[in-house]
């Protein structure tokens, strides 16, 4: 019971922290979302091909890095849509 609640809490913290991290990074740097999106799976693929046995703690850290990069991709896409920088999307105006 407690392990499920802890898992949910950690998952929420990872999501909220990665959104905050993405906003801070976007203020300082112009991030290319496609580079982040295409390189995210390689965070898991390359170590699994190079090493036979990966310690579970290392594997969990790699999974967190992978999830942060995926959230960064979608957060950058969302802000581009909101700013009207995304081509091919019709802007919806609330009246």
Is 21 inside any structural domain? yes
Q: What is the pLDDT of residues 62-86, one digit of tens each?
A: 999 999 999 999 999 888 888 877 7
Is 44 inside any structural domain? yes
Q: Which domain holds residue 45?
A: 2-83
Is 48 inside any structural domain? yes
Q: What is the pLDDT of residues 8-25, one digit of tens each?
A: 998 899 999 999 999 998
pTM: 0.80
The structural domain count of the chain equals 1
Is 93 inside any structural domain? no
Is 60 inside any structural domain? yes
Q: Where are the alpha helices (DSSP H) in the chain?
A: 2-28, 33-39, 42-50, 56-83
């Amino acid at each position: 019971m407690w392990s499920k609640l802890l898992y949910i809490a950690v998952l929420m913290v990872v999501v909220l922290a990665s959104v905050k991290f993405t906003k801070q990074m976007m203020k300082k740097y112009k991030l290319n979302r496609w580079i982040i999106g295409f390189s995210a799976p390689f965070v898991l693929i390359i170590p699994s091909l190079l090493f036979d046995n990966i310690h579970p703690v290392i594997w969990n850290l790699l999974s967190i890095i992978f999830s942060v990069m995926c959230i960064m991709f979608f957060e950058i896409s969302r802000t581009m849509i909101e700013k009207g920088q995304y081509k091919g999307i019709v802007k919806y105006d609330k009246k």
